[in-house]
Amino acid sequence: MLLIRPIESADYEALYSCAVESGHGFTSLPVDQALLERRIARAKQAFTKKDVVTPGDESYLFVMEDTESGEIAGVSGIEAAVGLTEAFWHYRLGKAVHHSEKLNIYNSLETLTLCNDYTGVSELCTLFLREPYRHSMNGRTLSRFRMLFLAQFKQRFSDWVIAEMRGVSDENGDSPFWQWLEQHFFSMDFPKADYLSGVGDKTFIAELMPRFPIYTALLSDEARAVIGKVHDNTRPALRLLEAEGLRFRGFVDIFDAGPTVEAEVCNLKSVRNSRLVPVEIVARLPEQGLEPHIVCNTQLEHFRAAQLMCQPGAETLQVTAEQAQHLQLEQGDDARIVAM
């Protein structure tokens, strides 16, 4: 079974491997020991914090573990509320109209304006599945289980959720959008800027970023062409989020211009369609009529989730004793489920 659980200190080496494998532009997984250890510590604190009634600086980080081999297949996270302890920057796409009635000239020009509009919203982040496990809807499970966590612990999160998508960059980590910014405003390459942001050293953004709206017509053709576009490796993750109901509303990353998608939590497909059902432990599951579901328990510190074959629409969740043990479920417990 591929079991999703809260990250532990012992998972550091696997998390570091995921950071290395994720490559350039994956800001939330920089190859930095101190930062990764801090992320694990923050997650452990969040999962043990009992008295949360409104979203704060909690950071929930999960791993997908192969229970047979003990290998970590991937990682996935949720930030409860971004921008509360340090500024959370985006560019907002807008319009500036230049009109002269006397000369009969009308020009509507696209602009990029630096903003902090997403301050306080929750963020789906740090989704990475290792290459050997990219099959059997494992990526979908690693992304969608977070919607069940949002539904189960809604008081811990904002009413709105976002996800930042990695923008276009080449195999060397060079971003066409950043190359234009670097030429005119910075003196560092994209990997360095991305790394500094990932480790939390963001003061250079406020110090060096252009403070006034940028007309996109002034950008290079290469930079303008990638605004709101995603990295090829990110397309599957974007499709999954779009299927949940997240949409691009004109906010892009300040480094690579990748799109940020957003949705109201209550309108997410898996939140709407998930339901709580009592657990029934059985000796053997039916051989027919089963369909893949995402199943999780309702615990916080000992949260567990997995993809299981279940009877669609059933009033109870039938699981074997082994499945129940992995998911830390007992007879009569409530479990939250959603069909794949």
- Look up the CATH number of the domain holding residue 14: 3.40.630.30
Residues 243 and 300 in one domain: no
Write the CA distances from 241 to 60, 97, 138, integer angstroms: 18, 33, 15
Same domain, residue pair 246 and 338:
no
256 in a structural domain: yes
184 lies in the same domain as 301: no
Phi and psi of 280, rounded to 5°? -125, 115
For the chain, how many structural domains are there in total?
Answer: 2
Same domain assignment for residues 194 and 278: no
- Whether 340 is in a domain gets the answer yes
Strand partners of residue 309: 292
The confidence score (pLDDT) of residue 181 equals: 82
Q: Which of 249, 273, 297 is the last residue of a domain?
A: 273
What tokens does 149 get?
């966590």
103 in any annotated domain:
no
- Residues 170 and 183 placed together within one structural domain of the fold: yes
CB 214 within 8 A of CB 111: yes
Domain end call among 273, 294, 315: 273
Task: Considering only CA atoms, give the Rg of the chain.
Answer: 22
* 49 in a structural domain: yes
| From 90, 98, 135, 231, active-site residue | 231
Could you give the CA distance from residue 267 to residue 240 in angstroms, rounded to a whole number?
Answer: 15
pLDDT at 26: 67
**What's the pTM?**
0.90
Domain identity same for 279 and 140: no
Rounded distance, CA 312 to CA 296, Å?
16
Q: Which residues contact 337 (CB under 8 A, 6 or more apart)?
A: 274, 275, 277, 293, 294, 295, 296, 310, 317
For residues 285 and 265, state if they share a domain: no
168 in the same domain as 130: yes
pLDDT (0 to 100) of residue 28: 73
Q: Are residues 285 and 232 in the same domain?
A: no
Decide if 99 is inside a domain. Answer: no
Which range marks the domain in which residue 325 is found?
274-340
If asked whether residues 267 and 281 sit together in one domain, one would say no
Is 231 in the active site? yes
Instruction: Point out the domain boundary residue: 250, 273, 296.
Output: 273
Closest alpha carbon to 177 in 195, 165, 162, 189: 189
Q: What is the CATH number of the domain that holds 290?
A: 2.40.40.20
Domain co-membership, 300 together with 258: no
Residues 187, 296, single domain; the answer is no
How remote is the C-alpha of 138 from its chain's centroid?
15
Per-residue pLDDT, 200: 58
Tokens representing 24 are 């350039």
How confident is the prediction along the chain (340 residues), in pLDDT tens digits per residue? 999 999 999 999 999 999 898 876 566 777 888 889 999 999 999 999 998 989 999 999 999 999 999 999 999 999 999 999 888 989 999 999 999 889 999 999 999 999 999 999 999 999 999 999 999 999 999 999 999 999 999 999 999 999 999 899 888 778 899 888 888 877 666 667 666 665 555 666 667 777 789 999 999 999 999 999 999 888 988 999 999 999 999 999 988 999 999 999 999 999 999 999 999 999 999 888 899 999 999 999 999 999 999 999 899 999 999 999 999 999 999 999 999 9
